[in-house]
Amino acid sequence: MKRKKIIHILNSETPWDNIHIKGWVRTRRSSKGFSFLEVNDGSCLKNVQVVADHSVPNYNDVEKITTGSAVSIFGRLVASPGKGQKWEIHAETVDIISIAPESYPLQKKRHSDEYLRTIGHLRPRTNKYGSVFRIRSEISFAAHQFFRDRGFRYIHSPIITGSDCEGAGEMFRVTALDLENIPKKNGKTDFIHDFFGKEVNLTVSGQLSAEMMALALGDVYTFGPTFRAENSNTARHVAEFWMIEPEMAFCDLEGDMAIAEEFVKYLTAFAMDNCREDLALFSTFVDKTLLATLDTIISSDFLKLPYQEAVDILKNTGKKFEYEINYGNDLQSEHERYLTEEYFKKPVIIFNYPKEIKPFYMRMNNDSKTVAAMDLLVPRIGELVGGSQREERYDVLESRMDELGIAKENYWWYLDSRRFGTVPHSGFGLGFERLLMLITGITNIRDVIPFPRVPGQIEF
Ligand code: 4AD
Ligand code: MG
């Protein structure tokens, strides 16, 4: 008899004989010769109630089953007379796969997010984190679906790289050198003896590779892990995060902003349509305004605003910010939240940033002061997406690299792409964890990734 997942059983239209499930016991109540087991197998938020009595051969052992124990059950699916569930299983046999001792930390009571982070190996077993990680899986699938429906190709960009895409230098070095015995030349580390014969790092973005692929396949995207050694201990930064990066040939900044908006709306609507039960947990226990916020995202036209105008608004509102904003400064998260939550009350895309605060690859505008960059900001999170039209003109790109003192010999291939069949092209990066924060209402990024990596912590 084939084992069934609980999600499958609970959606059944009819009673069912000869049913087989496996899962973990969330709670057991026993009285007057009956035991009620709440069993969960991770396939959905809900448990199935299993009723066992003396007709089960090992009933004496069933009465000793503890929270967290694993069981395999054969029985019949019948209409439940109890409140709150349509079906229950009347057990014919209950095989005990393993018994969890009383020291199992996840007894039936609510635990704080902070405590659950200290038991990251067990927290996916709670209702809340089970829901987070099921949603994470669904939205990953939705991202692939979105691009596939639009003719994009999925590409894999390298994780170990010799270039610094963002030019921020916040990179994790990868080396096979013996750290106790580092080869030196003129007092400096001589990377010629290292594995690749040069200095390499973990990637901060797959963009530069994606550009090369877009100039061959047209529209492409990456979806992979990226690494940043920023020492920022905030609720919105992790050192290892997943980024979705589309890159489109023959696309300008306007087209880029349009795809970003469509993508964010699509993923939000997908969650609302396909993750109803799990989302209901968040709208009940985490953020009562969640569904209204998600509705706004799906139904509003995102506001598009040049950087200069955003700065003017922030300077003239009369609101006191911790960091004063001036032309030429990056927006702080308090500014981003003010614009999206209080001023416009919807997502905002800011574009045309001063070249000084953006990386070398962004396309220079005619004013020679700003570049064709855009950031998509959303309520509660701030920056969700960063993107740009890329500099496709060889001369302009080269002089920009010179201006910034970038070692061109590491980017000869990047420059080369502007010599052969160069075209206007654009792309963006969406931080997958930040999107999950938006969709679930969870306020700390550490709680939407199974095993977060942050400064000073790499448990699990
Ligand atoms: O704005 P960023 O740095 O853009 C890039 O990396 C471009 N190369 C993308 C491209 O055009 N292909 O990062 C993109 C997004 C941010 O908007 C943010 O959502 C997320 O990645 N992000 C982080 N998420 C979690 N933790 C961090 N430390 C993050 N840094 C960036
Ligand atoms: Mg950015």
pLDDT digit string (tens) for 188-199?
999 999 999 999
Q: Model pTM greater than 0.95? A: yes
- pLDDT class for 280, splitting at 50, 70, 90? very high
Would you say 54 and 62 are in contact if contact means Cβ atoms under 8 Å apart? no
Task: Give the residue whose CA is nearest to atom 5 of ligand 1.
Answer: 429
Would you say 165 and 205 are in contact if contact means Cβ atoms under 8 Å apart? yes
pLDDT of the residue at 118: 97
Of the candidates 434, 441, 396, 387, the residue with the CA atom closest to the CA atom of residue 415: 396
Half-sphere exposure of 410 (CA within 13 A, CB side): 17
pLDDT of the residue at 298: 97
Report the percentage of the chain scoring pLDDT > 70: 100
Task: Give the residue whose CA is nearest to atom 15 of ligand 1.
Answer: 431
pLDDT of the residue at 84: 84
pLDDT of 1 higher than 80: no
pLDDT of the residue at 394: 98
The atom number, within ligand 1, closest to the CA of 245 reads: 12
Query: For a pocket test of ligand 1, which of 243, 248, 361, 362 has the largest count of ligand atoms closer than 8 A to its C-beta?
Result: 243
Task: Give the residue whose CA is nearest to atom 25 of ligand 1.
Answer: 237
Residue-wise pLDDT tens digits, 369-419: 999 999 999 999 999 999 999 999 999 999 999 999 999 999 999 999 999
- pLDDT class for 270, splitting at 50, 70, 90? very high
Residue labelled with tokens 């059983």:
9
For residues 261-290, give the mean pLDDT: 97
The atom number, within ligand 1, closest to the CA of 385 reads: 17
pLDDT of 318 higher than 90: no
Residue-wise pLDDT tens digits, 419-435: 999 999 999 999 999 99
Q: Which domains does the chain have, with CATH numbers?
A: 6-98 (2.40.50.140), 123-168+204-447 (3.30.930.10)
In SS3 terms, the chain reads as CCCCCHHHHHCCCCCEEEEEEEEEEEEEEEECCEEEEEEECCCCCCCEEEEEECCCCCHHHHCCCCCCCEEEEEEEEEECCCCCCCEEEEEEEEEEEECCCCCCCCCCCCCCHHHHHHCCCCHHHCHHHHHHHHHHHHHHHHHHHHHHHCCCEECCCCCEECCCCCCCCCCCEECCCCCCCCCEECCEECHHHCCCCCCEEECCCCHHHHHHHHHHHCEEEEEEEEECCCCCCCCCCCCEEEEEEEEEECCCHHHHHHHHHHHHHHHHHHHHHHCHHHHHHHHHHCCCCHHHHHHHHHHCCCEEEEHHHHHHHHHHCCCCCCCCCCCCCCCCHHHHHHHHHHHCCCCEEEEEEEHHHCCCCECECCCCCEEEEEEEEECCCEEEEEEEEECCCHHHHHHHHHHCCCCHHHHHHHHHCCCCCCCCEEEEEEEHHHHHHHHHCCCCHHHCCCCCCECCECCC
pLDDT of the residue at 165: 83
- pLDDT class for 164, splitting at 50, 70, 90? confident
pLDDT of the residue at 13: 94
Residue-wise pLDDT tens digits, 46-68: 999 999 999 999 999 999 999 99
Task: Give the residue whose CA is nearest to atom 11 of ligand 1.
Answer: 428
The atom number, within ligand 1, closest to the CA of 230 reads: 28
- Ligand 1 geometric centre to CA of 221 (Å): 14
- Ligand 2 geometric centre to CA of 136 (Å): 22
- pLDDT class for 283, splitting at 50, 70, 90? very high
pLDDT of 337 higher than 90: yes
Task: Give the residue whose CA is nearest to atom 21 of ligand 1.
Answer: 431
- The pocket around ligand 1, CB under 6 angstroms, is made up of 165-166, 205, 207, 228, 230, 237-238, 241, 243, 245, 383-388, 427-429, 431, 433-434
pLDDT of the residue at 82: 85
- pLDDT class for 15, splitting at 50, 70, 90? very high
Query: For a pocket test of ligand 1, which of 434, 439, 444 has the largest count of ligand atoms closer than 8 A to its C-beta?
Result: 434
pLDDT of 167 higher than 90: no
Neighbours of ion ligand 2 (CB under 5 A): 386
Greatest CA separation for the chain: 85
Q: What are phi and psi of 443, to 5 degrees?
A: -100, -10
Task: For the chain, give the mean pLDDT.
Answer: 96
pLDDT of the residue at 168: 81
- Ligand 2 geometric centre to CA of 167 (Å): 12
- pLDDT class for 83, splitting at 50, 70, 90? confident
pLDDT of the residue at 163: 87
